[in-house]
Structure 1
Amino acid sequence: MSALTERAEESTAPGPAAPEETAAGYRAGRTLPLRVELVRQLKRRRTLVMGAVLALLPFVLVAAFAIGGEPEGRNTRVNLMDTATASGANFAAVSLFVSAGFLLVIPVALFCGDTVASEAGWSSLRYLLAAPVPRMRLLWSKLIVGLGLSLAAMVLLPVVALTVGTAAYGWGPLHIPTGGTLDPGTAAGRLTVIVAYLFVSQLVTAALAFWLSTRTDAPLGAVGGAVGLTIVGNVLDAVTALGDWRHFLPAHWQFAWADAVQPTPEWSGMIQGASVSVTYALVLFALAFRGFARKDVVS
């Protein structure tokens, strides 16, 4: 009897927990590959329209200079705009100067703010998560592609401007407004530094747009909110009564890259501007991931 009792107890005793079953071949890290997300975003109309706008801007500037004549200094003071037609390198620098304050903000806000909210607006976000695509994997894919397209937009403008400017005004050194020139090789390096700084300085706009994109189902709200708050920052920076408090505004450092267009570049302004932008961006990115991980996705 004792042997039978022992066998009965062994048969009813709880065994080890069964491992959680997943579909054969499923790997969370392979869901929503970057190339798939990139192709999806490249095929969207807003991507094509924004690329066309940035590519056409240099042609518009060349036409404006052709109609209005050569730029001239005001009150004997020469600035970067006055050297626009000196060479292709100068024209590329001027193209960045006229677009850095607002135009380049739009593609960054668009590519980073539209990415998650558009999926919610199309009611496809919940189906992506049910695929199943892990939430963090979804956000990382969206963020990396959004930042990649933003960087591509910032590279596209000076490349086209350099090509168009060289065809219109010739290949030559970069003429510095304060006097002197930079040889074409050095000028190309400085333009690369400028584009890199512009990208870093726009990280705060990208992070703000991305965070708003995880909080709303309306893409226009995320994009418009990021652009609107960026404009508010520019307005606050113009209020001189704020004094040193303006140093905490990313907008205060948006033109610090002009220090690179000097015989001896000054890096302190760009370092401070990059530090402010990266600090805000890290906080906003963290809020986006934290909030989305706990969000009840119903659309």
Structure 2
Amino acid sequence: MFSSLLLSELRILFSRRRTLALLVALAAIPILIAVAIRLASSPGTGRGPAFLDQVTQNGLFVGVSALVVAIPLFLPLTVGVVAGDTIAGEASHGTLRYLLVAPAGRARLLVVKYLGAAAFCIAAALTVVIAGTLIGAALFPVGPVTVLSGTTIDVGEALLRFLAIAAYVAVSLLGLSAIGLFFSTLTNVPVGAMAATISFSVASQILDALPQTEWLHPWLFSHYWFSFADILRDPVSWASFGDNALLQAGYIAVFGALAFGRFLTKDVLA
């Protein structure tokens, strides 16, 4: 029953035009970056996102540069839209009552909705990296990659590391998905839950940038978002990956419990 419910949720989620439009918009980010650099007379050394200077020498860096651009706003925006719609969207369309009538149960439905949002996090990160790799290979030379430690790795290992970076970014968004799920249980208006989730992301990044709140930084879910650069060292440093995963797990536990408590007592009238 659970697996069939999850498969149904994933099928509905990724067949929606809105979801496809969000993924297309994310894929457009590395394409725009690559085309702009290709048409420019110079790569603009010292300006732009991290790794941008490396694109003309190696097209594999397009995906990583696009992630740096997408992480502060575009990825949280798309995740906020999907996570904020999980419960509130069903309520606004009048389908939530019918889902609860089925033997799925509220707890199981909540878990399925969260897993659907988590699947979108994975798809979103992969979309940016894969689109960046393909357009980079089409417009620029591709060869061995020089990592941040100064050593060189072959293309195969570089591609594996870029997939690991995509996994890192996907994990980074799981806490935000749990926050969006909680906000989605508070209202029957999806736009409100989406706006609250995105605002929460912006607030976390602002606090993380203020030296006056340095004591709070390690507890902010956005604190480790850019630490994926450790994967481009030799040897790879996995410490930040573990710290990030632990932090996101804490947000999942807290906001998942809040969402469960709210949804368990939520009156479903439509």
Match for 1:198 among 157, 163, 169? 169
Match for 2:194 among 223, 242, 261? 223
Q: Distance in 2 between matches of 1:79 and 1:144?
A: 31
After superposition, residues 83-94 of structure 1 pair within 5 angstroms as 83-94=54-65
Query: What TM-score does the superposition give when structure 1 sets the normalisation length?
Result: 0.83
Query: What TM-score does the superposition give when structure 2 sets the normalisation length?
Result: 0.91
Partner of 2:28: 56
Q: Distance in 1 between matches of 2:230 and 2:138?
A: 27
Q: Distance in 1 between matches of 2:64 and 2:230?
A: 12
Q: Distance in 1 between matches of 2:30 and 2:36?
A: 10
Q: CA deviation at 1:96?
A: 1.5
Q: CA deviation at 1:177?
A: 5.3
After superposition, residues 153-168 of structure 1 pair within 5 angstroms as 153-168=124-139
Using a 3 Å threshold, how does the CA distance of structure 1 residues 31 and 125 change in structure 2: closer, same or farther?
Answer: farther
Give structure 2 stretches of 5+ with no counterpart: none
Q: Distance in 1 between matches of 2:66 and 2:32?
A: 10
Query: Does structure 2 conserve the Cα–Cα contact (< 8 Å) formed by 1:32 and 1:141?
Result: no
Partner of 1:66: 38
Q: CA deviation at 1:213?
A: 0.8
Match for 2:93 among 122, 141, 147? 122
Give structure 1 stretches of 5+ with no counterpart: 1-28
Q: CA deviation at 1:130?
A: 2.4
Query: Does structure 1 conserve the Cα–Cα contact (< 8 Å) formed by 2:50 and 2:65?
Result: no
Question: Number of residue pairs matched?
Answer: 269
Using a 3 Å threshold, how does the CA distance of structure 1 residues 234 and 30 change in structure 2: closer, same or farther?
Answer: closer
Query: Does structure 1 conserve the Cα–Cα contact (< 8 Å) formed by 2:83 and 2:114?
Result: yes
Query: Does structure 2 conserve the Cα–Cα contact (< 8 Å) formed by 1:37 and 1:145?
Result: yes
After superposition, residues 7-156 of structure 1 pair within 5 angstroms as 29=1, 33-74=5-46, 79-156=50-127
Match for 1:281 among 211, 234, 252? 252
1:68-110 deviations in whole A, cap 9, x for unaligned? Answer: 33324339xx952211222232122112221122211122222
Q: Distance in 1 between matches of 2:46 and 2:14?
A: 43
1:143-189 deviations in whole A, cap 9, x for unaligned? Answer: 22221122112112111111111111132122335634321122112
The one-letter amino acid paired with 2:7 is R
Counterpart secondary structure, 1:205: helix
The one-letter amino acid paired with 1:61 is I
Counterpart secondary structure, 2:94: coil
Using a 3 Å threshold, how does the CA distance of structure 1 residues 252 and 132 change in structure 2: closer, same or farther?
Answer: closer
Partner of 2:160: 189
Q: CA deviation at 1:31?
A: 9.2
The one-letter amino acid paired with 1:231 is V
Equivalent pairs: percent with the same residue?
A: 31
Instruction: Name which one, 1 or 2, has greater alpha-carbon Rg.
Output: 1
Query: Does structure 1 conserve the Cα–Cα contact (< 8 Å) formed by 2:84 and 2:194?
Result: yes
Q: Distance in 2 between matches of 1:40 and 1:171?
A: 37
Q: Distance in 2 between matches of 1:102 and 1:182?
A: 31
Q: CA deviation at 1:230?
A: 0.6
Q: CA deviation at 1:275?
A: 1.7
